[in-house]
Amino acid sequence: MRSRFLPEIFILLCLVVVAPPILRADPILAAHIETLVSPPGVWSYTLFNDEPLASSNYIFAFSLTINAPVVVTGVPDGWTVDTDNVSFVFWFNTDLALPYPHDIAPGSSLGGFSISSPGAVPGLSSAAIAGWDHLLDAPGPLSSDILVSSPSSPTPVPEPSSAMLLVAPLFLMFFYMLRYRRSL
């Protein structure tokens, strides 16, 4: 039997799930990241500010979530980095006052962000870019979550010898039980 409230429930779910991104009050920074993975285990990132040229929103920070031990091998001039070398890398501009010459202007890009993790395999993780409003001299919008390639720990595969060490005692107990039952 069909509920008479089914259409109303569907509309309510659509408003709850679909409407928030559409009706979002906070602006989203228009930006993207290009990744270059080169052997042996070096990830290089280039940030692009896709804001309109007349926009006052510049890029001043870049955060990357990782899942492997890394070493930061590249930081652009005028930027610095903070990391725990295992779960995140956070690059940010070190300029203290306007005109913030090392911010990434609308319509431009900046490369030189790189990390190294020789034993890691490529995986997807989230990154975020933060903007700074040069007109207001205040924090600007954030980008939506961006999926990028980053180092990831390889999935461990047990060695055959380890599996045999776990299974061998079970076989011995099985044969012992068979022998014990036959003796009764």
**Cα distance between residue 72 and residue 83, in whole Å:** 8
The predicted pLDDT at position 123 comes to 78
Nearest to 65 by CA among 118, 117, 128, 120: 128
Q: What percent of the chain has pLDDT over 90?
A: 45
> 104, 49 in Cβ contact below 8 A?
yes
Average pLDDT, the chain: 79
What sign for the dihedral angle of Cα 3, 8, 12, 15?
Answer: positive
The reported pTM is: 0.69
The predicted pLDDT at position 62 comes to 92
The predicted pLDDT at position 23 comes to 45
**Cα distance between residue 126 and residue 57, in whole Å:** 21
**Cα distance between residue 119 and residue 66, in whole Å:** 14
The predicted pLDDT at position 39 comes to 74
Q: What percent of the chain has pLDDT over 70?
A: 67
By mean pLDDT, which of 11-25, 44-58, 127-141, 165-179 is the weakest? 11-25
In this predicted structure, the answer to whether residue 19 has a pLDDT above a threshold of 60 is: no
Q: What pLDDT, in 10s, does the model give residues 105-139?
A: 999 999 999 999 887 777 788 899 999 999 999 99
We find that the CATH architecture of domain 26-157 is Sandwich (2.60)
